[in-house]
Every structure is written in C-alpha cells, then in structure tokens.
Amino acid sequence: MSDVLRPQAAVGTAAWKGLVIQPAVIVLILAAFVIWLKLGNLSATERATLNPGDLLAYTGQHLALTFVSSAIVLAGAIPLGVLLTRRPFVKVSGVILALANFGQAAPAIGLVVLLAFWLGFSFWSAVVALVVYAALPVLRNTMVGIQGVDERLVESARGMGMSSFSVLMRVELPLAVPVMLSGIRTALVLIVGSATLATFIGAGGLGLLITTGVNLFLPRVLVSGALLVALLALLIDWLGRVVEHYARPKGLR
Amino acid sequence: MILWNYIVDRWDQIWFGSWQHFSLVVQSLILATVVAMVIAFLVYGSPKFSSVANGVSAVGLTIPSFALIGILIVPFGFGVTPSVIVVTFFAVLPILRNAVVGLQGVDRAVVESARGIGMGRIRTMLTIEFPLAWPIILTGVRISAQMVMGVAAVTAYALGPGLGGFIFSGLSRLGGANAIESVWVGVVGVIILALILDLLLVGLGRLTIPRGIRVKK
Amino acid sequence: MSKNSSTATGTSVSSRILLDAVTKHYPGQSKPAVDGITLEIPAGKIVMLVGPSGCGKTTTLKMINRLIEPTEGRITLGDEDVTNIDGDQLRRRMGYVIQAGGLFPHMTVAANIAIVPKMLGWSKEKIKNRVDELLELVSLEPAMYRDRYPRELSGGQQQRVGVARALAADPPVLLMDEPFGAVDPITRQRLQDELLRIQEEVQKTIVFVTHDFDEAVKLGDWIVVFSEGAHIVQYDTPERILNEPASSFVEDFIGAGAGLKQLTLNRVRDVELAEAVTGSPGEMAQDVLARVKEAGDGHAVILDENRRPLSWPSRRQLSRLETIPATPDAAIPLVTQGSTLSDALDTMLVSSAGAALVTDRRRSFVGVITVEVVMEAITRSRKASAMANDNDSPVGTNTGTIEVQGGTT
C-alpha cells in the first residue's frame, strides 16, 4: 500500500510549496511597492493621486465589484449548470454551451461599454458585464464536473436506493467539486482583471489609476494601478487555490 | 438600420481594422507557438523546470491584460509594439502549458525505440515527439487564439491596431452620432474573427494531425 | 431456511423473485429489449443470467430493482407485488453490486458500507458494528481497512467492499452485474470462492449476470441461458446444461470441453479421498518405508504436530534418508476441500504423483485425491444429472413469442 500512498504525499508537498510561495511573492512585491512609494521621487500630482486613502478607496471599489459580481455568478451559474445536467435539459445543454462559448469570444471591454450604453454608466452596469463575462467558466465546469462523474457510480448509488436528489448531493456534486472549484477560480480571476475596465464607465476601481496615469501622463500612477490589479488577481487566485486544496474531497487525488 | 448604414459607410475602415486585428493575432500566435515549443522542449525533461513553467503559465494568466498594457506603455510608448508584446505574452501561456503536458505525455517507450534505432535527439524531437504531442499543443493554440482575440481589442487602448479602436472611439464619442454602432462593430467583429480563426485552426488540425493518432469521436 | 433470526449477524429470510410476463420496450426500437419474460428466482439460490452481449440479461437484472422500469408485466418479491412501489424504497431492500464495486471514491470504506443503513435510519452504534462485521465477513481486517479510501485498495479488495456494501442492510436479495469482470483471473477465482463461502453463511437470493460461462457453472445453482431479446433458451442446473444443452445455441455458448467444465461443478469434499501412510519428522525413515510397502503405496505424507503436510517423499526418497527431516517442501501439490475438481486436476497435472494432498480449512491433512477419482466423478455426475427429475425446476419462459429453435439469429 505504501507505494500507492507515496505519490499522493509527493503531490501534497508540491502543492503546499506552491501555496506558500505565491502569497510570499505577493507580499514581497507589495512591500517593494510601498517602499518605492515612500522613497521614490514622486511629483506633487503623483503624490496627490497615490495617497493611501484614495488607494484604499479604489481597492475597496474594485473588491466590491469583484465580490458582488462573483456572488451573482455563483448563485446563478452553479444551479443553472446543475439543472442543465438533469435529464429533461440534457438535450439543450449542448446548444447552451456552444452559445456561451461563442459569447466568450466577445471582448470584455466591448461588453462593458455596450452594457453601459444600455444600462447607464454605473456600478451595476459594470457588475452585469462582469457577470455575463464570468458566468461561462462556472457554468461549463459545473456541467463538465457533473458529467465527468463515472456513470457507474451514479447507477450504483441509484441501485442502493438513493433518490435522485440524494445522488446529486452525496455523489455527483462532491465528486464534481474539484472541477467546479477550478472553474470558479478562473471566473474570479477573470472578474478581478476585467473589473479594471469598469473605470471606462465610471464605476471606479483600480483601473482608474491606469486611465489617470495615461491621460495625465503620470507613469508611476499608471504602473501603480497595473501592479495593484495584478497583485489583487494573484491574491484571489491564491485564495482560490487554498480553497481548492481544502475542499477537495479526501480520497480523490 | 443605422447599424447597417454605418457598416456600409465605413466598410473599408471596418475591413482594414478586421484585417489588422486578424493579422496581429495570427502573427503573434505563430510567434507564441514557436516560443512556447522551444521553452517546452527545454523544460519538459525536468520535473522541476516543468513545474516552474506551469507556475509561470498559471500566474501569468491571472495578470489582467489591461494592467499589462498599462505597464508596457511606459517603456514602449503607444502603438504597435506594446500590442504585439501583450498579445504574444498571453498567447504563449496556454500553448506552453499544453506543450509541456503534451511532450510529457508521449510514451517513453516510443522515444526510446526511436533513439534505439539511431535517431538523434533533435530528430527524435522533430519527427516523433512534437508530432505526437501536436494535438494537445494545437488545443492550446486554439485556447490562446480565442483568448488573445479579446486581449487584442484591449490593446487598442495603447493605440494598437485592430477592431478595439472601434470600441474605444465609440466610448469616447459617448452620446454622439454612431457611437453605439461603432462599439457594436468592434464587439461583433471580434467574435466573428474568433470564430473564423477557430475554424481555420480546426482545419489545420485536420491537415497536420497524423491519422493514426486522431481522436475518434 | 431454518434460521429465522434477523439479528445483525443472522440472515433475514431470503425471498423468491418472480418476473411475470415482463417486457421492456425502448422507444424508437422495433424489437423489445426484453420480450415477455417469465422467470422465477428461487429463494436462497444463486441464479446466473448468461448470454452474448446485448441479449438483455443486464436489462432483465435492472428491472428486478427497477433501475429500468418494465414496460409491461409484474414483479413479485416474496409474496409482495413490487411492480408499483417506490423504486428507491425497493432498491434499499436489494443489494446491488457492479463491476469494480462502484465504490464512491470520496467516501471511506466504512462510509461506503454505511450508506444504506444510514438511509434506513440505523443508530450510529449499530452501523459501526455492522460495518466491522461485514468487513470480517469479506475477509478484510476492519481496523486496517475501515478508514481507507477506495483508491488505497486493490481491485479485489474494492470488489469485496462492494459486496459488503450490498449486504449492509441484510437485504434478502443480492443483484450482481458482472461484478468480477474487471479483475485478473487469479483474483477473480478467489473472489468467486469467497462469494460461495459468504453465500453458505448468508443464504441470499442472488441474481448474477455474467458473460463468462465458466463463472456461471462455478457459481450457479441455476443458469439461465439467454439469446437476443432475453429469450430463455435454457433454464436449468449447470450439470444438465453441460450434459444436455437444449440447442446448438447453448452448445456453442458452452464452447469446447464441456466434460472438463463438469469439474468446476464438483468440490473436492464431494468425492471419496484415498487414505495415505503418514509419518512425522524425527522418525526413522526405514520404519516409514516399511509401512508404505505394507500398505502398497508409493509415498508417505509427513505431517507436523498440527497435522499440516510438510513433505511427500516417495519410496526411493525414503530409502535414501535416515531420519525424516522437519523441513517443509514448498512444492508439494496441495488443495483444500473447498477447491473445485478442476482446480485439483490442475494441481495434480503439475505434480509428478498424479495426485494431490487435501487439507481442510485449518490446513490439516484429510486425505489424497487422485486422477482416477476425478475421472470417476465426471462419469458419475453425468449419470446423476441424466436421472434427475424436473420437479424442483423453477419456471422460466417467454410469452407471446415464437420459440427460436437452436438458431443464433
């Protein structure tokens, strides 16, 4: 048995290394950034734009966009994905996936702008755009995850007298968790990145630093914005990986 | 109707923008495929370097494209250069990941027997390993193609070429004549281009994947 | 069944199953997958459903627990008509085993086994005891295996857990769908022996689908041979199917070597064993040789203090020895009373003696089995099956169909 267990242990430590290195790198870059802000020869305008209060406010807006959109995506796309794997809807699931894939090719910036033209330049337009953009990975991975569950296990569960609902909750969903979580992480990272574009429709966020930097030609402001967004994306990605690590059912590799 | 008139009126401009967009993406993809395959060739033999490559690929993909464009404007200024760099950078990542996975997935026994009959390292790579890994690499290329179509639209912010210009110009003329039509053209144009390129890549697969290893549906 | 205790260890009353004119018609297919089958599964027996792939044997099995709903007909379990009761409730009363056990990889062995008892609302204590008891029943040390995950088990072990899980709530019926299809031949043979041993203890009504005729002969009390559309070509004991195949279809299905397959039917314990001269380590070899000569034998069996065979020296070997050594000879041909005659014959053929030593469950020596005895057993079982009458045969027919005579369609 030991030869069976060893590879898992090896995978475990490799995964752990990754989980530790990523936040360490994030913290390191953040620290370097703060030092650079303190020591760097910032012009008066730059200093005014990059004051800690404003930076926090932008980050807060960015996070608000991210979390509201993510919550809506999760609440909508997961149940929809589950529903599309149930027998009456299996036939339409292929069509819906194809459509969604097709829609995924739409550039995020275009989506944001179109929705703003339609719904007004606001926080909620940005949220709607982000939700539309990020729903696909969650939807797709929920479906793929459930469809990937060995059919014999489902039959075995039915054969033991589990109801369809019980099979879904106790066999299909737990086994689909790893695939679903990876879709959710992809979606979150997409949302964080795309939330940068919210600045174009007046919904704030860290993208504001980038556009301000470009418009007023303040390279340091521009770089600060880009760096903070990237760090935020890495952080969310890391959180996703931690959750994946712990939520993966034991017994699955 | 207005949209139709807009398209008819600006057909030359739209055609030119589409062509530039397509050309930017395709050239960057070719460059990215070569780069990714070379890196994959260098790292796939070592588990350590492979996992570093995979890590870089995963982390690279979390960087928002708009943030990267912003950073690159500082050293490279506006125009084509930052666009090409950004598009190529993002295009490399999925291809690299798939190329490493694909090369590692090639049966060691096949490689050994190739070496055993006297094929050199490079010849084995070119005639055995890359062809066998090609279906997986090509899948990575398709993923990249789809992704960088959208990325290329964002690079218009750095005044890069392509359809992204229609989106940003519509945004800047908010409320003005034809603003929304301009954005629609940009968005739909990119979707159509993505579709065309994907079909072309599927066709490429048909032509280049040896019949013996084609996956049966 | 004289036992009627339904305690955790004891067996519940097993139930007869009756399929009454059951048909399964899939929409869009002109021919029914199962065509008006009437089949009686006697209580406490193992009934094997065999036939070529696509013949409807699995569909028939799955209609018993209504994983597949019959289009027409009635199904009776014991005295109860279960055609229209809730499918989930019905399935909790029937064990179900599929290939590779169908274990849930995200649950431990114990959690897998506990699923049905939990659904039935058993107490934690009772479930825990039941799990350990079942693990012991399938020869897995509870302390060692209880908390493992399925992927930490070998294929054979997973299959054992699958059987334990199916037996968890002590259902009267066990349905098995090619359970041993995915394991290697040696493991399969062991699992089959194990199943027979367990069945001796639990006496369930077992319906077992297989495409392996040898497996059917080895395990079945009764065998149903199906042709396409679940048409019953023959429903009989293994002996009679081997000796008197109802049609050329059955003959073809049995394949070559029906005579040898008979050997799978009989156990070593069913035949008369020869006695042998025994000796113990430390005795003078000459004394033992003298006893061998007196008995007219060729060999002596050397036993240790627990009567376990150590070696099996011939007259010539004895004549070269002074005292009998205590060293065990790993190469002696050994079979147990539970082995099939086929296994015994295999063992003998590789030994130079044309015979094998037989031991009981505690590995003590009970006698010697010879090739002659095996041949005699074949002849005898042929005669016996020819004389057996039809009185106890269960019912198995198809209704509303023209009997296909010996034709493979």
* pLDDT interval class at B215 (50, 70, 90): low
* pLDDT interval class at C64 (50, 70, 90): very high
Q: For position C381, what pLDDT does the model report?
A: 67
Could you give the 3-state DSSP secondary structure of residue B84? helix
C147 within 8 A of C108, measured Cβ to Cβ: yes
C385: in domain: no
A26 within 8 A of A18, measured Cβ to Cβ: no
Residue in C288, C380, C378, C301 with CA at minimum distance from that of residue C333: C301
Q: For position C256, what pLDDT does the model report?
A: 65
- Give yes or no: residues C259 and C286 share one domain: no
C350: in domain: yes
Nearest-CA distance A170 → chain B (Å): 31
CB contact under 8 A, B190 and A102: no
Q: Which residue of A has its CA nearest to B47?
A: A14
Which among A175-184, B154-163, C6-15 has the top mean pLDDT?
A: A175-184
Q: Which residue of A has its CA nearest to B185?
A: A110
- Residue B99 in contact with partner chain A when CB distance is under 8 A: no
The encoded tokens of residue B63 equal 């960087």
Q: Do chains B and C meet with 3 or more Cβ pairs nearer than 8 Å?
A: no
C6: in domain: no
C200: in domain: yes
Q: For position C63, what pLDDT does the model report?
A: 92
Give the residue-averaged pLDDT of C274-295: 88
Nearest-CA distance A163 → chain B (Å): 33
Q: Which residue of A has its CA nearest to B181?
A: A114
Q: What is the pLDDT of residues A184-240, one digit of tens each?
A: 998 999 899 889 988 888 888 888 988 888 888 888 888 888 888 889 988 998 999
- pLDDT above 50 for C128: yes
The encoded tokens of residue A188 equal 């979150």
- pLDDT above 50 for C8: no
More confident residue, C392 or C224: C224
User: For A82-86, B110-114, C68-72, which range has the lowest pLDDT when averaged over its residues?
Assistant: B110-114
Q: CA C126 → CA A94, C162, C201, C203, distances in Å? A: 46, 20, 20, 22
- pLDDT above 60 for C10: no
CB contact under 8 A, A159 and C99: no
Those chains having 3 or more beta-carbon pairs within 8 angstroms of chain C are A
Q: Please report, for the domain that includes residue C234, its CATH number.
A: 3.40.50.300
C406: in domain: no
CB contact under 8 A, A152 and C99: yes
Q: What is the pLDDT of residues C336-347, one digit of tens each?
A: 887 788 878 877
- Give yes or no: residues C68 and C185 share one domain: yes
- Give yes or no: residues C258 and C274 share one domain: no
CB contact under 8 A, A207 and B66: yes
Give the residue-averaged pLDDT of A169-192: 91
- Give yes or no: residues C196 and C341 share one domain: no
Q: For position C390, what pLDDT does the model report?
A: 53
CB contact under 8 A, A159 and C108: no
Q: Please report, for the domain that includes residue C318, its CATH number.
A: 3.10.580.10
| Chain B residues touching residue A117 (CB < 8 angstroms) | 174, 179-180, 183
- Residue B91 in contact with partner chain A when CB distance is under 8 A: no
Nearest-CA distance C85 → chain A (Å): 12
Q: Which residue out of B52, B66, B196 would a mutagenesis test of the A interface target, given it has the greatest number of A Cβ atoms within 10 Å?
A: B66
| Chain B residues touching residue A197 (CB < 8 angstroms) | 66, 154
C354: in domain: yes
CB contact under 8 A, C89 and A161: yes
Q: How far is CA A185 from the centre of its chain?
A: 4
Please tell me the total count of domains within chain C.
2
Nearest-CA distance C208 → chain A (Å): 14
The three state secondary structure string of A106-131 is CCHHHHHHHHHHHHCCCHHHHHHHHH
More confident residue, C19 or C350: C19
- Give yes or no: residues C118 and C159 share one domain: yes
C11: in domain: no
- Give yes or no: residues C224 and C293 share one domain: no
Average confidence score pLDDT of chain C: 83
- Give yes or no: residues C59 and C106 share one domain: yes
Q: What is the pLDDT of residues C167-219, one digit of tens each?
A: 998 899 999 999 988 788 778 888 888 888 888 888 899 999 998 888 898 89
* pLDDT interval class at C387 (50, 70, 90): low
- pLDDT above 80 for C351: no
- Residue B61 in contact with partner chain A when CB distance is under 8 A: yes
User: For chain C, what is the total number of helices (H) and then of strands (E)?
Assistant: 15, 17
Give the residue-averaged pLDDT of C303-317: 87
Q: For position A8, what pLDDT does the model report?
A: 35
The DSSP string of A20-54 is HHHHHHHHHHHHHHHHHHHHS---HHHHHHT-HHH
Q: How far apart are CA C180 and CA C159, in angstroms?
A: 8
Instruction: Give all domains of chain A, ordered by start, each with its CATH number.
Output: 2-247 (1.10.3720.10)
Which range marks the domain in which residue C280 is found? 269-379
| Chain C residues touching residue A162 (CB < 8 angstroms) | 88, 115, 119
- pLDDT above 90 for C380: no
- Residue C151 in contact with partner chain A when CB distance is under 8 A: yes
Asked if ipTM goes beyond 0.95, one says no
- Residue C106 in contact with partner chain A when CB distance is under 8 A: yes
Q: For position C405, what pLDDT does the model report?
A: 41
- Give yes or no: residues C212 and C358 share one domain: no
* pLDDT interval class at A15 (50, 70, 90): low
- pLDDT above 80 for C258: no
- pLDDT above 60 for C406: no
Q: For position C259, what pLDDT does the model report?
A: 64
| Chain B residues touching residue A110 (CB < 8 angstroms) | 153, 167, 183, 186-187, 190
Give the residue-averaged pLDDT of C376-403: 65
- Give yes or no: residues C305 and C363 share one domain: yes
* pLDDT interval class at A9 (50, 70, 90): very low
Q: Which residue out of C82, C103, C106 would a mutagenesis test of the A interface target, given it has the greatest number of A Cβ atoms within 10 Å?
A: C106
Q: What value, to the nearest 5°, has the Cα angle with vertex B103 and ends B97 and B108? A: 150
C60: in domain: yes
User: For A51-60, A69-78, B206-215, C77-86, which range has the lowest pLDDT when averaged over its residues?
Assistant: B206-215
C406 within 8 A of C248, measured Cβ to Cβ: yes
Instruction: Give all domains of chain B, ordered by start, each with its CATH number.
Output: 2-213 (1.10.3720.10)
Give the residue-averaged pLDDT of B85-93: 93
Of all residues in chain C, the percent with pLDDT exceeding 70 is 89
Closest Cβ opposite residue B66 in set A197, A219, A234 = A197
- pLDDT above 90 for B114: no
CB contact under 8 A, C119 and A161: yes
Q: What is the pLDDT of residues C75-94, one digit of tens each?
A: 999 888 888 888 888 898 89
A222 within 8 A of B71, measured Cβ to Cβ: yes
- Give yes or no: residues C123 and C244 share one domain: yes
CB contact under 8 A, C89 and A174: no
- Give the residues across from A217 on adjacent strands: none
